[in-house]
Amino acid sequence: MNTRYVSLLGLGFGDCGKGLYTDFLARAWGAHTVVRFNGGAQAGHNVALADGRHHTFSQFGAGSFNAGACTLLASPVVVHPTALLVEHEALRHSGVPDALARLRIDARCRVTTPFHQAAGRLREWARGAAAHGSCGVGVGETVRQALAMPDTALRYGDLARPSHALEKLEAVRETLRRELDALPLPATEAAAQERGMLEDPTLARRWLAAVEPCLREAPPAGRDAIAAQLARPGTVLFEGAQGVLLDEWQGFHPHTTWSTVSTAAVEAVLADAGIAAPVRHLGVLRSYLTRHGAGPLPTQDAALDRLAEPHNADAGWQGRFRRGQPDAVLWRYALAAVGRLDGLAVSHLDAIGRTGGLRWCSAYRVAGEAQPLTALRRGAAPDLMHQEGLTRLLASAEPLYDALAVAAPAAWIERIEALSGCPVRYGAFGPEAEAVQAFRPLDF
């Protein structure tokens, strides 16, 4: 039996159904490995089972309810070891006792520490009204610090050498402590607690002791071991985190995440392992737009707030969970940015009937003038100034809706297929795998 590779890539601002489809396809194909290839502990992929169990997957692959399915955290992933232990315990209570034993972590993965998490939260508070929309788990701070000081960046493999890891931890703590001295931090108890972590000279050693169970159950994996896992006969699923509209280079700066969401990012993991094989890429999207916290959402519509969202709350670091009508302008941009797709997987098709029909945005009005479907143009190269310009455009955009609402799933599917040039291969009419219908499933 050969190995087949399939990726799931979000076409929105996240929360589009990647967890649902990872679980569904892992079951359907008996996937032996789910690869996380981007992002970190800020992911939140919900899987609801027909027996009532539910888990929001953060770092473990959303195929973990399937016995024998391993999670592989590839080298671009930012690992949060103590959060892994917390998530493992939650999975144990949900009937998955061996998630850590089924975990493979590339030794090159960057590691989030309490110092990164504290610094990231303090920076976000210091931004005040200009907050970026941080998840508060330290992923962005980990990447920023690793780029600024690559010699002191903590990698998962470093944890196997405690004295070496301790030196790096202390260097990180001291650097971040000095940087935070220059920021206008709020005089709150919460800020004082986060600041106290950067002042504590004992925390690094205590944290290293706390992560030892993670290191013992999931020791650092070298490139050869990663390649062997990926080459096993059967199915390998690549589970994307976030969505391409939050991509660090293609998203709308500064309301983005330090993560790359693209077909090229998936294929780079295989190339790094020395595997030259085709990947079938699926774009995942909701029937309507959503996003957490700060950032533009031109079609935001309070009328959609009546749609139940039991696993996406307004509380927490990201802030309010917002809903918007279907936006063909944003989806067209996402399709151009993500790379070539072999089909689409759509969630929340059942919401169309519950809303009495969704309004389809086909263009924007900006500064009094109608802008066509091509209003958002990608930059020729990674260019954050260009992306900031797109952010300003979106902030001032007024959606122009088609005269008739889309009142049935079949009509919605026809619209998105015409827009994307891709077939809708799978559609979900509820939160469980049993609610997924295979319209034109992938064949191999």
| pLDDT tens, position by position, 142-162 | 998 999 999 999 999 999 999
Tens-digit pLDDT profile for residues 363-379:
999 987 887 767 788 87
pLDDT at 166: 95
Nearest CA-CA partner of 193 in 83, 87, 117: 117
Q: What does pTM read for this prediction?
A: 0.93
In whole angstroms, how large is the CA radius of gyration of the chain? 21
Of all residues in the chain, the percent with pLDDT exceeding 90 is 71
pLDDT, position 401: 96
Q: Which ranges of 30-187 would DSSP assign to H, the alpha helix?
A: 81-93, 114-127, 139-148, 162-181
Mean pLDDT for the stretch of residues 379-402: 90
Q: How many whole angstroms separate alpha carbon 7 and alpha carbon 22?
A: 9
> Running DSSP on this structure, what letter comes out for residue 129?
G
98 is catalytic: no
Q: Are 238 and 6 in contact (CB under 8 A)?
A: yes
Q: Mean pLDDT over all residues of the chain? A: 91
Please indicate whether residue 386 or residue 196 has the higher confidence score (pLDDT). 386
Confidence at 129, pLDDT banded by 50, 70, 90? confident
Please report, to the nearest 10 degrees, the dihedral formed by the alpha carbons of residues 109, 139, 325, 323 taken in order: 130
DSSP string, 303-355: GGGGS--TT--S-STT--EEEE--BHHHHHHHHHHH---SEEEEE-TTHHHHT
The catalytic residue among 45, 116, 255, 281 is: 45
- Sign of torsion, CA 436 438 439 444? positive
Examine the pLDDT at 169 and tell me if it is beyond 90: yes
**pLDDT tens track for 314-341:** 566 666 789 999 999 999 999 999 999 9
Q: How confident is the model at residue 221 (pLDDT cuts 50, 70, 90)?
A: very high
**Is 15 in the active site?**
yes
Q: Yes or no: say if 91 and 47 are a contact pair by the CB < 8 Å rule.
A: no
Please say if the pLDDT value at position 46 is more than 70.
yes
Q: What's residue 124's pLDDT?
A: 81
Give me the mean pLDDT over the 231-236 stretch.
96
Mean pLDDT within 289-310:
89
Query: How far from each other are the two terminal CA atoms of the chain, in whole angstroms?
Result: 12
Nearest C-alpha neighbor of 72 from the set 258, 259, 232, 208: 232
Structure confidence at residue 313 (pLDDT)? 65
3-state secondary structure of 443: coil
390-407 mean pLDDT: 92
Which of 62-71, 268-277, 291-300 has the weakest average pLDDT? 291-300
Tokens representing residue 43 in the block: 């992911």
The tokens describing 60, both together, are: 């473990």
